[in-house]
Structure 1
Amino acid sequence: MSWDTREEDKKESLETWDNGVSDKGKVTQPSTLSPHLLLRSSSTPTALTTMTPDNSAVALTTATPSSQPATPPSRQGIMRCVVITALGLIVLVGLVVLVFWLVLRPKPLEYTIDDAHIRGFNITAHALNGVFDIRLRSYNHNTRFSVYYDAMEVTVWYGEQTVAISKVAPFYQPRHYVQTITVSATAQSTPLLRPVEKNLRHNESAGVVELEVRARARIRFAVGAVKKHYKLKAYCAPVVMHYSPSSHFDRVYCTSATLMSI
């Protein structure tokens, strides 16, 4: 081999070495990926790799968002929330009313009988006919509560038998007010027990008779827009009635009217 040929081979070797050295400072660009290689499942992130200037590989992870839309709340879940909210409001209002009522507890009503007598008294064929005129007085000592009487019944008793009855029309009693209630309890062919008949005939000859008067009512105590329902019971005894109108009558104080919440 001639001297010239060896020199040319040497130059080619040096050029090849220089090209290799200069390529080390370049950043290798990632090759373009085909679109079908980038497709992944919606739940699997996509990983891409690039080269840094020092030729070290770095993995870039890109999370692909889910393609499924958010599930709207079910109708059953909405109804459950509505029911729970409504029950909560009802309980809250009930507690407020209860506390309010306990603070402003109504006082019992007070009843008296200011007058009573019998007219048209007659016993025929073991049956009673007659009218018992009674004047009741109701005292409402409450300064905050008024009273609505939705229904009222007054009965006259002799021993353990009811001998006359009267219904009272609904009425309103203002707060801190005295209400007079006049009733005419009627006995119309009321069958009598033998002992009751015997005693009533004996009392008729004496001109007076001792009876018991009972009052029952459905009432509402009201303060503002708040109303509370009660059953009222009052017992008045002994009520000495004359068989004819009399100018003298001793007032009878009834037991404190019993209130039962309903």
Structure 2
Amino acid sequence: MTPDNALTTMTPDNAAAALTTAAPSSQPATPPSRQGNMRCIAITAVGLIVLVGLVVLVFWLALRPMPLEYTIDDAHIRGFNITAHALNGVFDLRLRSYNRNTRFSVYYDAMEVTVWYGEQTVAISKVAPFYQHRHYVQTITVSATAQSTPLLRPVEKNLRHNESAGVVELEVRARARIRFAVGVVRKHYKLKAYCAPVVMHCSPSSHFDRVYCTSATLTSV
């Protein structure tokens, strides 16, 4: 028998080596289904983050309405007189509010109109709650009343001079608590408008020049 045909003696070491070479890897692979679930969860999380970001952006843009525009289209005084250092009279005002927003309507929850002479309030009027449509002009008629309103001495002196002339130069201020509405969403604001100078005549037949108020400022609440 030649060496090529010689039988190889199987020792314990040779048998172990043969088994090691022939045996497949025993390390378990990650199941495909688990990898798919993780991928779906990651995609869903990213989608939710993007969606929430878009919603926040849309509402941020939607809830930034343009300020309302105010003018005084007519103003006159009735029963103007000063007695015992106190003022009596009615200040008839016709305000014009223009909601130039095409997407937002406005709810007026409370409104107050005051008439000022210098640094003193001489008349005041409350306005009942009302609703203003989108892109709509609202006329607000006010009769601010001064009923035995005590006057500061400088104010009294100047008003007596105006009374004799039949013309009074005043300032009108409007304050309101409003809600801008778009769909079911409501956003609360405080509104302030200043109108000056408002030249009022004691005669209702006198001509009145429209007064353009400063843009009504909005403060979020």
Q: TM-score, normalised by structure 2?
A: 0.75
Who wins on radius of gyration, i.e. which is larger?
A: 1
Residues 130 and 187 in structure 1, CA contact (< 8 A), matched pair in contact too? yes
Assess, with a 3 A threshold, how the Cα gap between structure 1 residues 71 and 168 changes in structure 2: closer, same or farther. Answer: farther
Residues 149 and 172 in structure 1, CA contact (< 8 A), matched pair in contact too? yes
Shift of 1:250: 0.2
Shift of 1:243: 1.1
Assess, with a 3 A threshold, how the Cα gap between structure 1 residues 105 and 117 changes in structure 2: closer, same or farther. Answer: same
Shift of 1:57: 20
Residues 174 and 194 in structure 2, CA contact (< 8 A), matched pair in contact too? yes
Residues 81 and 88 in structure 2, CA contact (< 8 A), matched pair in contact too? yes
Assess, with a 3 A threshold, how the Cα gap between structure 1 residues 245 and 253 changes in structure 2: closer, same or farther. Answer: same
2:149 & 2:35 partners in 1: Cα distance?
63
Residues 114 and 251 in structure 1, CA contact (< 8 A), matched pair in contact too? yes
Alignment partner of 2:209: what SS?
Answer: coil
2:133 & 2:7 partners in 1: Cα distance?
88
Q: When the two structures are aligned, how many residues end up with a matched partner?
A: 219
Q: Which runs of 5+ in 2 are unaligned?
A: none
Assess, with a 3 A threshold, how the Cα gap between structure 1 residues 65 and 249 changes in structure 2: closer, same or farther. Answer: farther
Shift of 1:237: 0.1
1:205 & 1:217 partners in 2: Cα distance?
34
Percent identical among aligned pairs is: 92
Alignment partner of 1:129: what SS?
Answer: strand
Residues 156 and 211 in structure 1, CA contact (< 8 A), matched pair in contact too? yes
Render the CA deviation track for 1:155-200: whole Å, top value 9, x for unaligned: 0000000000000000000000000000000001110000000100
1:91 & 1:55 partners in 2: Cα distance?
62
Assess, with a 3 A threshold, how the Cα gap between structure 1 residues 77 and 131 changes in structure 2: closer, same or farther. Answer: farther
Residues 212 and 237 in structure 1, CA contact (< 8 A), matched pair in contact too? yes
Residues 118 and 242 in structure 1, CA contact (< 8 A), matched pair in contact too? yes
Residues 47 and 59 in structure 1, CA contact (< 8 A), matched pair in contact too? no
Q: Which runs of 5+ in 1 are unaligned?
A: 1-43
Assess, with a 3 A threshold, how the Cα gap between structure 1 residues 75 and 250 changes in structure 2: closer, same or farther. Answer: farther
Assess, with a 3 A threshold, how the Cα gap between structure 1 residues 229 and 126 changes in structure 2: closer, same or farther. Answer: same
Moved more, 195-204 or 89-98: 89-98
Residues 81 and 163 in structure 2, CA contact (< 8 A), matched pair in contact too? no
Render the CA deviation track for 1:20-39: whole Å, top value 9, x for unaligned: xxxxxxxxxxxxxxxxxxxx
2:178 & 2:137 partners in 1: Cα distance?
16
Give 1:171-250 correspondences, 5 Å limit.
Answer: 171-250=130-209
2:173 & 2:195 partners in 1: Cα distance?
6
